[in-house]
Amino acid sequence: MAEGVKPPANIEAEKAVLGACLLNVQALVRVKEMLKSQDFYYRPHQLVYSAICGVHDSTGAVDEVLVYSQLYLLGTLEEAGGGTYLGELTGAVPTSANAEHYAALVRDAAVLRRQMVLLSSRVVVASQAGSAREFVSETLDLVADNAGHGLFNGVGHVSALAGEYGAGFRDWVSSRHTARQGLELGIIELDRHIPNGLEKDMLAVVGARSGDGKTSFLLSIAVNVSLSGQGSVLIVSLETRRERLMRRIHRNVCPHQAFLNAHADRNTQLRDDLLTASLDRLGKMHIAIEDSRSDVEDIKYAVQGHCVRHPETCLVGIDYFQRIGTKKRFSSSREKFDYILGVIDEIKRAVNRPIILLSQFTKGEINEKYGPNIGMLKETGRLENDADVVMLLWNKSESGSHDTELRCDIPKQRDGPRARVMLRFIKPMYLVCSPTKPRNDALEIQGKLVGTEVEDYDDGEAPF
């Protein structure tokens, strides 16, 4: 630990926890799920808490007299402050009903102290590390593990969780008509059928054929989230380089109808003026692109590191599942896919953000009459089972169509109904939007844009 830095501690909260435990055995039962004796900073408090837990474990009861006797038998009574100090502890707590709140304060201070020790020790390791990537990945894992039982306790009794859950539920009931619990996607028809939005622990799988708009779907949501001020978005792209994605996002933020008219008229001057006028808006997009990782182990490192550096990140998108590799070898594709999904689940839990995972179908898989179905995800291991929300995109239009109808089926949703939603896919802009209220109508381009017609315009050859 660095010299001159005072370790974080909350002595008053420690006193309140011990007083609550001495006064109310039910408070002790709840606190024991959260704290261990070493979580207390003040040595006498460690001894008192250890004695309290020892008495309760052997007798099922606890009070000041029993703890006094336990400390006396252990020979630690004087070091713990004596009988007078026990009396002071019971008088230091306003009410035992707030024991869990006091315990949370003690736990948080203990976690910070452990992290200070850990990170101080990592300085020497960093000076000898051969790989920055491996060092940072290992450090992130150690930080999570070192948080200990306090922040990542896997067991919680309903009786202990009821208070906090009840408060959260009441807040949710009071606000459900004005706000969502999770992330809004910014496409009206879709948000209506995902009533709570994408919550922090959700995995949303989006399946589609190549060319049916799955990447445009993800980019449109990323732009919507950024424009709405909900936070920033990280896109992990395994197929498309960042330069190409930047061009797509640039088109996505243009005023859609004006751009579409310029495209239909082959008016390159007007199109370029619109793109130029949209550069300021492009520069305000809170979207990050990671295109240098292909193995899931490296993706885990990159996503965790990004979310630590940018806590405002509220969504992670991965494009796409079948292109993710691994440093390990497997005897079958199913084993490989299951391993990759396991690591993605670790990422989701570690960063506590929703993840949109794109999955690509082959053209031969889809029945041209009925479109894709959720059974197609069975070929990729447990993808269907792990997903909290599944969305299947299908564009039946001919490849030359620029403004088409895009069907979005929601065959699975843990907290909502199944649905079929019809969206609009404007291909030249890589924009998926509501057919009734496209998002880009909000952009106002000042000034008069005068263009010239160019007959030989070919969108495929345009550099932007």
User: 278 with 384, same domain?
Assistant: yes
Give a yes or no: residue 164 inside a domain. Answer: no
Domain of 318, CATH number, reads 3.40.50.300
Distance from C-alpha of 40 to C-alpha of 112, rounded to nearest angstrom: 12
User: 141 with 224, same domain?
Assistant: no
| Structural domain for 309, as ranges | 188-454
User: 357 with 255, same domain?
Assistant: yes
Give a yes or no: residue 173 inside a domain. Answer: no
Distance from C-alpha of 277 to C-alpha of 328, rounded to nearest angstrom: 48
* SS3 (DSSP) at 283: helix
Domain count, the chain: 2
> Which candidate, 330, 336, 392, places its Cα nearest to that of 367?
392
User: 144 with 288, same domain?
Assistant: no
| Continuous H helices in 310-444 | 333-351, 383-386
User: 242 with 390, same domain?
Assistant: yes
Distance from C-alpha of 57 to C-alpha of 62, rounded to nearest angstrom: 9
User: 287 with 430, same domain?
Assistant: yes
User: 261 with 385, same domain?
Assistant: yes
User: 125 with 196, same domain?
Assistant: no
Query: At a CB cut-off of 8 Å and minimum separation 6, what does 148 contact?
Result: 110, 111, 114
User: 203 with 318, same domain?
Assistant: yes
User: 194 with 317, same domain?
Assistant: yes
The string of DSSP letters for 293-326 reads --BHHHHHHHHHHHHHH-TTEEEEEEE-GGG-B-
Give a yes or no: residue 306 inside a domain. Answer: yes
Give a yes or no: residue 407 inside a domain. Answer: yes
Give a yes or no: residue 157 inside a domain. Answer: no
Domain of 120, CATH number, reads 1.10.860.10
User: Tens digit of pLDDT per residue, the chain (464 long)?
Assistant: 556 678 899 999 999 999 999 999 989 998 998 999 999 999 999 999 999 999 998 888 898 989 999 999 999 999 999 988 998 898 878 778 889 999 999 999 998 998 888 888 888 888 888 888 778 777 877 777 666 544 544 455 676 667 767 776 776 566 554 555 789 998 888 888 888 889 888 999 999 988 888 999 999 999 999 988 899 999 999 988 999 999 999 988 887 778 878 888 888 888 888 888 888 888 889 999 999 888 999 999 889 888 888 999 999 999 989 999 998 898 888 889 889 999 999 899 888 899 999 999 876 667 777 888 888 887 666 788 889 999 999 988 766 577 889 999 999 998 788 999 999 898 888 889 888 776 544 343 333 343 333 333 334 434 33
What pTM was computed for the model? 0.61
Give a yes or no: residue 343 inside a domain. Answer: yes
Distance from C-alpha of 238 to C-alpha of 242, rounded to nearest angstrom: 10
Distance from C-alpha of 210 to C-alpha of 366, rounded to nearest angstrom: 12
User: 262 with 134, same domain?
Assistant: no
Distance from C-alpha of 320 to C-alpha of 91, rounded to nearest angstrom: 60
Give a yes or no: residue 175 inside a domain. Answer: no
Query: Residue with structure tokens 């933020």?
Result: 253
